[in-house]
Structure 1
Amino acid sequence: MNISIEYNIIIAYLIGLFLLYFLGWLLVVPKKFLLKIIINGIIGGLILLIINLLGKSIGLYIAINPVTALVAGFLGIPGIILLIILQYIA
């Protein structure tokens, strides 16, 4: 019994599986990353709002925009300190 194996079909099948996996990965990972960015931005914005309310008496104000919210959300306390330092430098 001679079984003829066509390597082109096997290679095409493996490439198709790899592309299917890669496409699935592209559809799942960005959603998780985007959700993390949105949540961190919201948390950063809330922290900046609290700092602005508490810092009103000493003249501390940091503008709340998407960039500052994301910096505060991603970096946490060091990010807020960085924003305060940048405010006084610029």
Structure 2
Amino acid sequence: MGLEVGAALSYVLALVVILIVVMLLLKPLKLILKLIINGIIGLVLLLAVNFIGKFVGIKIGINIITIIIAGFLGIPGVILLIIINYIL
């Protein structure tokens, strides 16, 4: 009732294939999660700028484009949005 070498190698190969498939499926989920978190951080930054900007006259419109820019670029993105707001 011993385990043959061929069967043992088949089990190991199946486990490796399952591991590879799981790793490939998790990468896009991590990327999507990271983009969502960055978008939320961008929204918080924009809200903070608008709250503090009330006192100095700075206002940035909050929409999906500004949230994406602030999310991808972070603080430099918010500074860029402030500069663009004053140029246009």
CA RMSD of aligned residues (A): 2.0
Aligned-pair CA distance for 1:28: 2.1
SS of the residue aligned with 1:82?
A: helix
Aligned-pair CA distance for 1:23: 8.8
Q: TM-score, normalised by structure 2?
A: 0.68
Deviations 1:8-41 (A, max 9, x none): xxxxxxxxx7xxx57962x322211110010000
Deviations 1:17-68 (A, max 9, x none): 7xxx57962x322211110010000011011101101101221011112221
What is the percentage of aligned positions where both structures have the same residue?
Answer: 53
- Residue of 64, 67, 82 corresponding to 2:65: 67
Q: Which letter does structure 2 place at the counterpart of 1:64?
A: I
Aligned positions, number: 71
SS of the residue aligned with 2:54?
A: helix
Residue 87 (structure 1) aligns with: 85
Q: Which letter does structure 2 place at the counterpart of 1:89?
A: I
Matched residues in 2 for 1:28 and 1:66: separation?
Answer: 26
Matched residues in 2 for 1:56 and 1:28: separation?
Answer: 42
